[in-house]
Amino acid sequence: MATYAFLLDLARCIGCQACVVACKTGNELPLGTKYITISERTQGTFPNLQGGFQNHRCYHCTDASCVAVCPTGALFKEDGLTRMDRAKCSGCTYCVDACPFGVPVMVDGISTKCDACTAVVKAGGQPWCVKTCPSHALMYGERDQILAEAQARVESIKARYPNAQVYGEKEAGGLGVVVVLPDSPEVVDLPVDPQPKLLVTGWQKAVQPLTLGLTSLSVIVTGIAAVIARRNHMQELKTLHQAETAGSEKAGEE
C-alpha cells in the first residue's frame, strides 16, 4: 500500500502566506484557528545576515505520539498520514500534551489539526496549501517520490547552503512532511530528535486503560441515569392520568 507525504522546501519558501490563507479558507477554519503558521527567521551577525522562514504545521509522524495517546480513536493513521475524526474527540487534551511539535490545539473543547485535506485528496484534488504555493515550495505525492525529490533539491542547493539537509526521512519513524532545510533544524525551531512530551509507553500501560475504564463507566452511568429518568417520567404521566380520571368521574357524579 502506498504512503503519501508532503514536500516542504524551506529554501524556496518566500513567506507569502498563500498556503496559510488557502488552508484556512478551504478548511473553513473558525476565527483564530489555523493549521499553518509562517514566521521569519534571521541568523548570522551583521552585516552577514541570512533570512528564511519557519513553516509550522502538522508533520504527520509515522510514530505519532498523538495517535498513541488518543483514548477514543479520534486520531489515527491512514495512507501514512495522521488523520482526525473530531466527532470522536473526548476533549482529553492528551494529544496536545504529547505532540513534540506542539501541533494539536483545542477549539471549543475539541482537538483540531491538519488532516492533510482528506476529503479534497480522496476526490482527486491536491491539498489546499500545495495548490496555492507560487514558488513550488510545496508538493504532495507518494512518499518515495517526495523523498527522492527532497534529496535532489538538497544536492542542488549545497553550493549556496553547505549545511542543507533533508529533515523527516527517519525522524519520529519518518515524517509525512519531508522538509528541505537550508541549515540545521534548530535554526527553524525543529527538534533534532523529536520525542513525545508524554511518556507514551507508560501512558499506554497505565493511564489509557484507566481512561478507557472511566469512559466506559461514564457510558454506563449515563445509561442508568436515562433509565431512571424514563421511569420517573412514566410514573409522573401515570399519576397525572389517574388524577385526570378521578376528576372526570367526580364531575360526572355531580
Q: What is the pLDDT of residues 144-183, one digit of tens each?
A: 999 999 999 999 999 999 999 999 999 999 999 999 999 9
* DSSP 8-state code for residue 106: E
Reported pTM:
0.77
Task: Catalogue the E-assigned strands of the chain.
Answer: 4-9, 37-45, 48-56, 75-78, 81-84, 105-107, 110-112, 138-142, 165-167, 177-181
Query: Per CATH, the architecture of 4-198 is what?
Result: 2-Layer Sandwich (3.30)
Percentage of the chain exceeding pLDDT 70: 78
Neighbour-count burial for 117-131, b at 16+ CB within 10 Å, e otherwise: bbebbeeeeebbbbb
* DSSP 8-state code for residue 66: H
Lowest mean pLDDT among 31-45, 73-87, 122-136, 137-151: 31-45
What residue spans define the domains of the chain? 4-198, 199-254
Q: What is the pLDDT of residues 95-108, one digit of tens each?
A: 999 999 999 999 99
